[in-house]
Structure 1
Amino acid sequence: MEKVQCVHCGQDWVRRYRRKDSGQVFFMCPECESLWLEEEDLHDETDLYLSEFLLTGDSAKDWEAIELCAGPTP
């Protein structure tokens, strides 16, 4: 797959991640934490961010709740 630059910040590439609790796969920019669900087009804007997606209430723990997926990234 092609690399996709974040349409929000333009500072990093969108990467594939997985929630540790449910195994749900999603795509996210590690720089600004903009997030796309697996079925969404990564070239389109998104209003979803990691903290909203996880609903942990503690942004410091958000990165502990996810892991970078092996395999192709966009």
Structure 2
Amino acid sequence: MIWCPRCDQGWVTRARVPQESETFLLCYECDTVWADREQDAHPPFLILEEYLARFGLDGLWSNIEILERKPGV
């Protein structure tokens, strides 16, 4: 797990929408979402709410499955 390059305040974890096989990267602090690739502080990235809207879902953490836990948890 890496420290978020966008907000510099949270860990980036791997997650997915339970009904989908594609994974994505998500910051625990600022809810930035990246495609499952290298993270960057500059676009292209989305906010969790925008990403989940693609699946017709509300931007809630309860609509995703976390695949990695942040350090110390």
- Common topology (TM > 0.5): yes
Q: Does 1:50 align with 2:54?
A: no
- Higher strand fraction: Structure 1 or Structure 2? 2
Report the Cα distance in structure 2 between the residues aligned to 1:63 and 1:5, rounded to whole angstroms: 19
Report the Cα distance in structure 2 between the residues aligned to 1:10 and 1:52, rounded to whole angstroms: 21
Q: Secondary structure at the match of 1:64?
A: helix
TM-superposed CA distance for 1:57, in Å, is 6.3
Structure 1 partner of 2:67: 69
Give TM-score, length-normalised by structure 2.
Answer: 0.72
TM-superposed CA distance for 1:58, in Å, is 3.3
- 1:44 to 1:11, Cα distance in 2 relative to 1, 3 A: closer
Which runs of structure 2 are paired with 1:1-74 in the superposition (5 Å)? 3-38=1-36, 40-46=37-43, 47-55=45-53, 56=56, 58-59=58-59, 62-70=60-68
| Unpaired stretches in structure 1, ≥5 consecutive residues | none
Percent identity of paired positions between Structure 1 and Structure 2 = 30
CA contact (8 A) 1:19 1:67 kept: yes
Higher RCO (Cα < 8 Å, 6 or more apart): 1
- 1:21 to 1:70, Cα distance in 2 relative to 1, 3 A: same
Give TM-score, length-normalised by structure 1.
Answer: 0.72
- Aligned residue-pair number: 66
TM-superposed CA distance for 1:41, in Å, is 1.4
CA contact (8 A) 1:16 1:26 kept: yes
